[in-house]
C-alpha cells in the first residue's frame, strides 16, 4: 500500500482540519500562560461525545438521498450541553467538534450554566424544498434524540437554520416523548414557546459589545463607519441595530455579492431586497464591489458575520478598520490575529461578541421550563446586563494582564470550566 493510499484510509481524527487546529491553538496560547494543572489539558480539549448519524429522506421527486449529520458535545462540567445546529455543505465532524469547544468557552464567559455543543447536517439548505427540509430535520432530530433533551443537550439555530427548523425539532422530540417539551430546543418561533428577542439577540449582543468598547475610547456608535461581512441572522441584525443607533453602515456582503456606499447604506431596504432576491446583486442603493474587497474597505469597524476563517494572513495586513467585532464563530485565524494585533487593530473575540444569541437562548430555556414568558423589554435589559458585565470582566482582565481581549476572554472562560472540572473530580 502506498503512502497516499494509507493517508486516504486514515481515520478522520488523525487529519484534523485547520479550523480544529486553530481552536486548539487559541486554547493552548492561553492555557500555557495559566497556572493550571497541565494534566487537565486533555480533559479540557477533548469532546465528551461525538455522534455521527445518517439521515435518509425521500426527495420530492421520489428518490432517496442519505444525508450525514453530527452532534458534538464538548465539556458538560458547568451544565447541560448547548449549541447550534448548522445546515451547510461545509459541515464536518471536525468543524462540529471545534465549534462545540468554542461554545464551551462562550457559555462559561457569559456565565451561563451550560457546556458547549454543536451539530449540523452536510447539505445545501437552498437546494432543499420546505418539505424536504422538514423531513430531514425530523429524521436528524430522531437520530440524535438519545443525546438531546432539556437537561442533556439543547440545540439552537446557527448557519443555515432558523426558527422554523427549531419548531420541527421541538415537535419531533415532543411527539416521541409523548408530551410538549419546550426546553429541548431554543430559537423556536414565539408562537411555539420561543422567546421574544431571540431572533435579533446575537446582533443586539454585537451592538452592546461594540458600544461598550467604543465608550472606553470616548467614542459613540454614531462616530463609526461599519462594514459587515455576511447578511444572514447575525449580519443583518447587527447592521440594522447599529444603523438604528447612528452608526454608518458603509458595506455589506453575502456569499455571492457585496455592496459599498461611503455615505451609508439603507440597511432596511437592503434587508428587504436580500429577503426577496436571496442576493444583494442588483440592489440599486449602493455600488457593487468584489466580495473580498469588503474586508479591506475603508471603514472603522469590521464585523465578520459569515463563516469561520474568512480573515486569514493574506487579508489581515490590508484591513483598514481599527476594530474587528467577531459576529461569526472563528472568523479570524491565529496568524491573522497576530497580524491584526501587531497592526494595532482591536479584536473583540467571538466568544464575547456573539454571545448574545446563546444568552437569550438561555432566557428562552428558563422561560420554557417555568412556563412563564418575559416581555421584550425584560429580555433586552437582561441581555444588555449580561453582555456589559462580560465586557467589563474581559476589559478588566485585559488591563490587569496587559493582554488582548481574546486572551483575556479565554483566560476567564477556561478558568471557570477548569474550576468546575476540578471541583467535580473524575468519575468513578
Q: Contact, 144 vs 70, CB < 8 A?
A: no
Q: What is the DSSP string of 20-65?
A: HHHHHHHHHHHHTTS-S-GGGHHHHHS-SEEEEEEEEEE-TTS-EE
Q: Considering beta carbons, is residue 255 or 335 the nearer one to ligand NAD? A: 255
Q: Minimum distance from CB of 230 to ligand NAD (Å)?
A: 3
Q: Minimum distance from CB of 290 to ligand NAD (Å)?
A: 11
CA distance 73 to 101: 8
Q: Minimum distance from CB of 388 to ligand NAD (Å)?
A: 18
Q: Which residues bind ligand NAD (CB under 6 A)?
A: 157-160, 202, 229-235, 253-255, 291, 305-307, 310, 327-329, 354, 357
Closest CA to 361 of 69, 110, 48, 95: 110
Q: Minimum distance from CB of 17 to ligand NAD (Å)?
A: 15
Q: Considering beta carbons, is residue 104 or 233 the nearer one to ligand NAD? A: 233
CA distance 187 to 100: 18
Return phi, psi of residue 52, to 5°. Answer: -115, 130
CA distance 377 to 397: 30
CA distance 162 to 233: 9
Q: Considering beta carbons, is residue 132 or 254 the nearer one to ligand NAD? A: 254
Closest CA to 424 of 82, 23, 33, 48: 48
Please give the grid coordinates belonging to residue 187: 430559537
CA distance 423 to 284: 59
SS3 call for 261: coil
CA distance 329 to 141: 23
Question: Which residue is catalytic, options 48, 82, 118, 188?
Answer: 118
Q: Minimum distance from CB of 325 to ligand NAD (Å)?
A: 12
Q: Contact, 149 vs 76, CB < 8 A?
A: no
Residue 106: active-site member = no
Q: Minimum distance from CB of 285 to ligand NAD (Å)?
A: 17
CA distance 120 to 72: 9
Q: Considering beta carbons, is residue 259 or 418 the nearer one to ligand NAD? A: 259
Q: Considering beta carbons, is residue 199 or 418 the nearer one to ligand NAD? A: 199
CA distance 75 to 258: 38
Q: Considering beta carbons, is residue 31 or 70 the nearer one to ligand NAD? A: 70
Q: What is the DSSP string of 369-385?
A: HHT----HHHHHHHHHH
Q: Considering beta carbons, is residue 17 or 310 the nearer one to ligand NAD? A: 310
Q: Contact, 115 vs 75, CB < 8 A?
A: yes
Return phi, psi of residue 28, to 5°. Answer: -65, -40
Q: Minimum distance from CB of 402 to ligand NAD (Å)?
A: 29
DSSP class of 293: G
Q: Minimum distance from CB of 332 to ligand NAD (Å)?
A: 12
Q: Considering beta carbons, is residue 409 or 421 the nearer one to ligand NAD? A: 409
C-alpha distances out from residue 219 to 223, 227, 326, 335, Å: 6, 17, 19, 29
| In the complex, residue closest to ligand NAD by CB | 232
Q: Which residues are catalytic?
A: 118
Amino acid at each position: 500500500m502506498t503512502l497516499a493510499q494509507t493517508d486516504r484510509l486514515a481515520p478522520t481524527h488523525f487529519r484534523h482540519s485547520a479550523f480544529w487546529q486553530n481552536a486548539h491553538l487559541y486554547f493552548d496560547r492561553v492555557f500555557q500562560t495559566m497556572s493550571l494543572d497541565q494534566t487537565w489539558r486533555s480533559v479540557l480539549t477533548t469532546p465528551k461525545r461525538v455522534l455521527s448519524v445518517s439521515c435518509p429522506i425521500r426527495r420530492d421527486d421520489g428518490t432517496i438521498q442519505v444525508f450525514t449529520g453530527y452532534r458534538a458535545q464538548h465539556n458538560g462540567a458547568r451544565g447541560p450541553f448547548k449549541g447550534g445546529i448548522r445546515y451547510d455543505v461545509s459541515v464536518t465532524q471536525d468543524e462540529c467538534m471545534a465549534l462545540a469547544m468554542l461554545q464551551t468557552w462562550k457559555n462559561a464567559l457569559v456565565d451561563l450554566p451550560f457546556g458547549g455543543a454543536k451539530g449540523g447536517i452536510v447539505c445545501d439548505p437552498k437546494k432543499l424544498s420546505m418539505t424536504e427540509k422538514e423531513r430531514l430535520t425530523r429524521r436528524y432530530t430522531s437520530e440524535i434524540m438519545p443525546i438531546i433533551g432539556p437537561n442533556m443537550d439543547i440545540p439552537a439555530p446557527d448557519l443555515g437554520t432558523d426558527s422554523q427548523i427549531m419548531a420541527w425539532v421541538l415537535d419531533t422530540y415532543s411527539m416521541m416523548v409523548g408530551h410538549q417539551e419546550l426546553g429541548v430546543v431554543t430559537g423556536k418561533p414565539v408562537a411555539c414557546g420561543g422567546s421574544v428577542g431571540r431572533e435579533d439577540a446575537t446582533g443586539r449582543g454585537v451592538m452592546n459589545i461594540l458600544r461598550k468598547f467604543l465608550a472606553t475610547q470616548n467614542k459613540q456608535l454614531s462616530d463609526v463607519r461599519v462594514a459587515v461581512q455576511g447578511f444572514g441572522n447575525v449580519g443583518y441584525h447587527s447592521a440594522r441595530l447599529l444603523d438604528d443607533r447612528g452608526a454608518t453602515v458603509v458595506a455589506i456582503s453575502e456569499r455571492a455579492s457585496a455592496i459599498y456606499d461611503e455615505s451609508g447604506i439603507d440597511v432596511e431596504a437592503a434587508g428587504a431586497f436580500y429577503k426577496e432576491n436571496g442576493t444583494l446583486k442588483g440592489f440599486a442603493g449602493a455600488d457593487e464591489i468584489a466580495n473580498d474587497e469588503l474586508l479591506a474597505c475603508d471603514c472603522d469597524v469590521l464585523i465578520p458575520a459569515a463563516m469561520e476563517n474568512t480573515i486569514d494572513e493574506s487579508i489581515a495586513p490590508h484591513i483598514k478598520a481599527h476594530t474587528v467585532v467577531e459576529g461569526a464563530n472563528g472568523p479570524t485565524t491565529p496568524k491573522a490575529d497576530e497580524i491584526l494585533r501587531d497592526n494595532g487593530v482591536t479584536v473583540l473575540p467571538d466568544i464575547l461578541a456573539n454571545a448574545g444569541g446563546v444568552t437569550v437562548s438561555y432566557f428562552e430555556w428558563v422561560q420554557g421550563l417555568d412556563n412563564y414568558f418575559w416581555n421584550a423589554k425584560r429580555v433586552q435589559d437582561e441581555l444588555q446586563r449580561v453582555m456589559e458585565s462580560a465586557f467589563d470582566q474581559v476589559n478588566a482582565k485585559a488591563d490587569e494582564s496587559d493582554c488582548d481581549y481574546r486572551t483575556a476572554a479565554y483566560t476567564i472562560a477556561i478558568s471557570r470550566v477548569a474550576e468546575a472540572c476540578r471541583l467535580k473530580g473524575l468519575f468513578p
